[in-house]
Structure 1
């Protein structure tokens, strides 16, 4: 389709708030209960859509859906299936790339499995997602921050902290890049609670959000950013592991009772963060997107396991000269020295079994393997056979459980709220491919041909026409309450 605008809209600003996998149903429930005042204020001044992720499992994953958001291309075309594939398969310019080419300074903070790169001298910044094992921040002065955040996220199943030197460098970076006293107090309180009462290390993910946002807002000012993205996975993590504690009546296997408020805790911490965003960006188009969501996983009892020691697992399998690194949850990456060695490692990893069933899922991409313990096989008390020399080992010696039984699983519905100053609820579902064209339209930037989604109708300033619209939309608008934009 042809577009109708060719230049940027002077002064336009937007921020894409990527709160991964928040549930529209839980947002409605918690807002109605008075638990989320900032989400309520945001919603009540927004055009409210529900998105359809467009895929079912196994293609319903954040590292698949968020590339769709940024590329404007559905999974059937971009083909990004695994973590790390965005760099190789997202060959068309992404949302931020199109804006940067039009002269809009862009900041990307943690957007998962995307392929943003910048060259020296270009405006803006890029902080890769923390699961990107090859991530390089731009400018390179951000690399120490990125590496520490990545360590914290990838090793979230362990209770330890980075080494003293890495922590010192991280602290020095934070002090130079916007760390607030209130965030320091929250971080200290978290560590004191861990030592004094125990059992609350899981809350570190929310503290990391606060630290990250301090840096994010500083980078936006420093680089004169007009479009930025901010990604958070903390509450998605809580939902995966603690949904059964929130609604035990839905599950045969209930939790330990110690995490009944964990999911609500995550939403309330994100509510406070959203309040900060709204206060910092009174005149920007704020876009809240979740890409997909979660729902209770009551008919299954999935547990995930990770190797206790990667080198020990590789040695047991008879694999030498390879490097293994954590990725996300049970997934990890193995990098042998050559393509032939990678094929040999794949064969050896696939030979490991429990009761005659393959223990590991393993996919080969060049000379890199993405590996994970299969949840339908891994279990405590089992024996792993098929090691080097036909040896066997106790499963518990090789693997440990990550957190607890998963009780939240992915759902296709997602929240998509555009803060325009007027409240409008649009019934029905819209595809994720509509997000990038709508944001480009806000800036008056032409939508490239590879982005085939529609521009969603928002309240626009005079003189900024829609570029493309849905000619016969099945959507229906309701609850129209005009409101003036105001600073919060």
Structure 2
């Protein structure tokens, strides 16, 4: 029986890959593109609907946003939408997943299922891998504050010691050493570790289908695309953000070239699919991203009632309330937070007793930055936030798809991202039943 590995390299631009390839880089990826070709995928049209936590749900369920209605990161846990993993299980196949974005663990007997750091769903993993997951989740969600609990440090060391493969020891050491001068190295370190986990767990459990989600490329493009040697625009990052001669995009693309090559070497008879979900283009203006350092402390400071506050990716956070009345009051207060020019600092999505909130102020924040909460005046927002990035890349709904089971002549054109599950099932010799789609829509 055919076995299949599905590698999700989030938001990577294959055209930029080719541009680097022309310069002599990325031999593994260039070879795959030359031999097997690249198709494009399409998704939503409206920019506010172009988010990876939307498009990856589409890729996992075969449903567009209008059908799956999962708009926020982590919201998949509120739905029972059939996804590719449990569907394949129903067909008698063994499945695995490492960090799939916005995916719910609905499997009954997975070889392994380790969710992304932002989606509160169950794990199917050994105790060691569970501890490593929770440490990684804490590190990712507190990345802007550069803090890590002692327990998480020990779990990371123990997990990395078990799952890091000897062939990559030198790469891990280089990334660890480079983290102070290049904070993007931490995201690359995590992606390399996730790939090593996939290889070791796949060797141990031999699933018929397993997926791996890699996010460092998306993170780095958002932050540092202006420094890329293949960027042709006029925007630049200030030197206090990154040195002018550094190229993190090339660094992460070279890492992906290494990871893909190691996966193919480890499983030479296994079919490999690569998909990006969407991709990024250069952002045309200067836009700052900020993140609250301590979400609960800040909400208390400005008088927002809540039961629990949980960070999500980048500027986003999630508020749980004890009642709809409390949520309405929290929404009222957060919606009243405005800069001196009247611009709102927060965008609030009220879903009953829960709020999904985004810190949307997109300009610099000086030490004496003043703002109001209703009629109350505050000064010093800079102490409550951490700088995340100057936005370099913006989303484009076109994604890329590569399949080592097809030749370059057969791989061309464009197809909807929602057809990914069909292609996976076809490759594995099973059907993507229309009943699954009907159940999801119902």
Q: Same fold (TM over 0.5)?
A: yes
Tell me, yes or no, if the aligned pair for 1:124 and 1:225 is still in contact at 8 Å.
yes
**Which residue number corresponds to residue 293 of structure 1?**
279
Cα distance, 1:182–1:140 mapped onto 2, change above 3 Å: closer
Tell me, yes or no, if the aligned pair for 1:86 and 1:114 is still in contact at 8 Å: yes
Structure 1 position 85 matched with structure 2 position 75: yes
**Structure 1 residue 451 displacement after superposition:** 6.7
What are the within-5 Å matches in structure 2 for residues 138-149 of structure 1? 138-139=124-125, 141=127, 142-149=129-136
Gaps of 5+ in 1: 1-10, 453-488
Task: Provide closer, same or farther for how the CA distance between residues 397 and 175 of structure 1 changes in structure 2, counting only shifts above 3 A.
Answer: closer
- Indicate whether 1:100 and 2:86 are aligned: no
- Report the structure number with the largest CA radius of gyration: 1
Candidates 205, 226, 240, aligned match of 1:244: 226
Tell me, yes or no, if structure 1 residue 202 matches structure 2 residue 188.
no
Distance 1:262 1:123, change over 3 A: closer
How far apart are residue 277 of structure 1 and its match? 1.0
User: How do residues 114-125 of structure 1 correspond to structure 2 at under 5 angstroms?
Assistant: 114-119=103-108, 122-125=109-112
Q: Does 1:279 align with 2:268?
A: no
Q: Is the 8 A contact 2:9 2:215 kept in 1?
A: yes
Q: Quick one: distance in 1 between partners of 2:258 and 2:379? A: 47
Verify: 1:350 aligned to 2:332, yes or no.
no
**Structure 1 residue 425 displacement after superposition:** 6.1
Q: Kindly tell me the number of residue pairs found equivalent between the two proteins.
A: 431
- Identify, as 1 or 2, the structure richer in helix: 2
Partner of 2:440 in structure 1?
none
Tell me the residue number matched to 2:205: 223
1:375 to 317, 342, 361: 361
| 8 Å CA contact 2:227, 2:236 repeated in 1 | no
CA–CA distance in 2 between the matches of 1:223 and 1:340? 49
CA distance 1:170–1:253, change in 2 (3 Å): closer
Q: Does the 8 A contact of 1:20 with 1:62 survive in 2?
A: yes
1:129 aligned to 2:102? no
Residues 110 and 425 of structure 1: CA distance in aligned 2, closer, same or farther (over 3 Å): same
| TM-score normalised by the chain length of structure 1 | 0.83
Q: How many angstroms apart in 2 are the aligned matches of 1:71 and 1:128?
A: 16
* Matching of residue 111 in structure 1 with residue 111 in structure 2: no
| RMSD, aligned CA | 2.3
Contact 1:17 1:231 in 2 (8 A): yes
- SS of 1:250's partner is coil
- Write the deviation string for residues 48-97 of structure 1: whole angstroms up to 9, x where unpaired: 211112333100110010100110111111111111122223x3321111
| 8 A contact 2:288–2:363 mirrored in 1 | no
1:377/1:349 CA distance change after superposition, 3 Å: farther
Conserved in 1, the CA contact under 8 Å of 2:45 and 2:397? yes
Q: Distance in 2 between matches of 1:71 and 1:421?
A: 23
Q: Distance in 1 between matches of 2:159 and 2:355?
A: 33
Q: State which drifts further: 255-264 or 97-106.
A: 255-264
**Quick one: distance in 1 between partners of 2:357 and 2:131?**
27
Q: Taking structure 2 as the reference length, what is the TM-score of the superposition?
A: 0.91
Partner of 1:152: 139
SS of corresponding position for 1:16: strand
What's the offset of the Cα at 1:155? 2.4
Distance 1:313 1:224, change over 3 A: same
Query: Following the alignment from structure 2 to structure 1, what is the Cα–Cα distance between the partners of residues 235 and 408?
Result: 41
Alpha-carbon shift at residue 22 of structure 1 (Å) = 0.7
Tell me, what secondary structure is at the counterpart of 2:24?
coil
Matched, 1:413 2:395: no
Residue pair 1:437, 1:451 contacting (<8 A) in 2 also: no
Of the three residues 429, 436, 442, the one matched with 2:421 is 436
User: 1:316 & 1:165 partners in 2: Cα distance?
Assistant: 28
Contact 1:49 1:425 in 2 (8 A): no
Partner Cα distance (2:208, 2:13) in 1: 28
Q: Give 1:47 shift.
A: 4.5
| 2:155 corresponds to which of 165, 169, 181 | 169
Query: Tell me, which stretches of 5 or more residues in structure 2 are unaligned?
Result: 438-442
Whether contact under 8 Å (2:278, 2:397) holds in the other structure is yes
Q: Specify the SS of the correspondent of 2:250.
A: helix
Deviation string, structure 1 residues 17-54 (Cα, Å, up to 9, x no partner)? 10001102102212222200110222233242111123
CA–CA distance in structure 1, aligned partners of residues 434 and 306 of structure 2? 45
Is 2:28 the counterpart of 1:38?
A: yes
1:379-421 Cα offsets, whole Å, 9 max, x none, are 335312116x72423221322321x311111112211000026
After TM superposition, where is structure 1 displaced by more than 4 Å over at least 4 residues in a row?
none
